[in-house]
Amino acid sequence: MWNLFAAGKALVVAILALGMMAVPFSVSLAQEPGPIKAFNVDAKKAELGKRLFFDERLSGNATISCATCHIPEKAFADGLALSKAYPGLDGFRNTPTLINTALKAAWFHDGRLGTNLNDVTREVITEAYIMNMDMRLMQERLKQDPIYVKMFKEAGYGEPDNSAVRKAIPEYLKSLTSRGAPFDKGSMSNAAKKGFELFKGKAGCIACHSGSRFSDDKPHNLGVPDNPDIWSNPQRHLTFVAYAMSMGIENHMNIRHDPGAHLRAHKADGTDVGKFMTPTLRELKYTAPYMHNGMLKTLKDVVAFYDKGGGEGANKDSLLKPLALSAQEQSDLVAFLNALSGDLLTGAKYVWEDKIDTDYSAIPNFRKTPN
């Protein structure tokens, strides 16, 4: 089963990789930290996208939805070190937040998709270890639900079809932007203010965590240790091997590390091995544990990691040096990082719900927060 899966995937991935290589990592437009600018969102399209996001019928065996892993009360991450996967498998990467994801220049921890969210949506739906869905089947399922027929029409898409799904879900994702963080409201504590000075100065964080999302949208190697669970848990290892094989990684049966951005660029000198995309620093309060493989449990651990100059590794970024921060300075930096998260609730609703209302009726087994 894996061979078949891999052969088909290899072709698709090869074609994708060709397309991606032509697109260089673009530089974040706004380098200065500041509030996130909200998008203009088409309400009808986003309502449809939201219903699709919570609908298990988008997965092959109709048992998982996007929200199985991207859980609203965890800022659309999942609280796990390594993600779940399609039933029978397990994931090998940490689930990223989807807040502000529409502003990214490249997606996934290795930055393997540098085009747009339309392509990312197709990738997660069809990827065998995520939703494992044949989009032709998905289209037929959607046509059987009169609520979808109505919603696709009202959103201006006509009949339910694949390309409309690939547009409607990103329209919903565009509605998920950070707001109300103490940093944006000018209500940071003194400790957080001191932390911000360290962030821009002595600690040098801003060299990579720049712009309003605090990310340069580039991959770097920090020497984060590998997560041994990927190799000791057969379900995770199987998923990792199939993925590495389909991405053209040599020796995929034997390697015991995640090659990161090397999957995308395949640099002959290997200097891209172990590089991962700089993540946003917004909404960190809700998205522990941290890093592409969940190896650091708390923000205190992350700051202590940087204070030591990062981890081990031949290709480690030369920007990382021991910082010699005092305990007080480390706790100020943590206070600053916490000031980049907004409140999750406004009254009885999640902040993210305020903008987009949708009709969840008639979705089989509907549960918004899966257990």
Shortest CB 160 distance to ligand HEC, Å: 15
DSSP one-letter code for 298: S
- Could you say which of 84, 141, 200, 257 contacts ligand HEC (CB under 6 A)? 84
- Could you say which of 54, 107, 148, 152 contacts ligand HEC (CB under 6 A)? 107
363 touching ligand HEC, by CB under 6 A: no
Distances in Å between the alpha carbon of 156 and those of 48, 119, 123, 164? 11, 21, 24, 9
Site string for ligand HEC, 131-170 (x = CB under 6 A): x-------------------------------------x-
Residues 142, 16, 251: CA angle, nearest 5 degrees: 115
58 touching ligand HEC, by CB under 6 A: yes
- Could you say which of 48, 120, 245, 363 contacts ligand HEC (CB under 6 A)? 120
Site string for ligand HEC, 4-43 (x = CB under 6 A): ----------------------------------------
205 touching ligand HEC, by CB under 6 A: yes
- E-strand spans in the chain? 219-220, 276-277, 345-346, 349-350
- Exposed/middle/buried for residue 252 (C-beta within 10 Å: 0-12, 13-18, 19+): middle
Find tokens 């087994």 and name the residue: 365
Query: How many beta carbons lie within 10 A of that of residue 4, not counting itself?
Result: 8
Tokens for 14, please give them.
Answer: 């090869």
181 touching ligand HEC, by CB under 6 A: no
Amino acid at 302: V
Tokens for 306, please give them.
Answer: 């940087």
- Could you say which of 128, 208, 230, 247 contacts ligand HEC (CB under 6 A)? 208
Task: Give per-residue burial for 161-188: e unless 16+ CB within 10 Å, then b.
Answer: bbebbbbbbbbbbbbbbbbebbbbeeeb
Pick out residues in 262-291 that bind ligand HEC (CB under 6 A).
Answer: 276, 278-279, 281, 284, 287, 290-291
121 touching ligand HEC, by CB under 6 A: yes
Helix (H, G, I), strand (E, B) or coil at 219: strand
Q: Binding residues for ligand HEC, per CB under 6 A?
A: 58, 64, 66, 68-70, 83-85, 91, 93, 95-96, 98, 101, 104, 107-109, 117, 120-121, 124-125, 130-131, 169, 203-205, 207-209, 220, 222, 224, 276, 278-279, 281, 284, 287, 290-292, 299, 302-303, 306, 317, 319-320, 333, 337
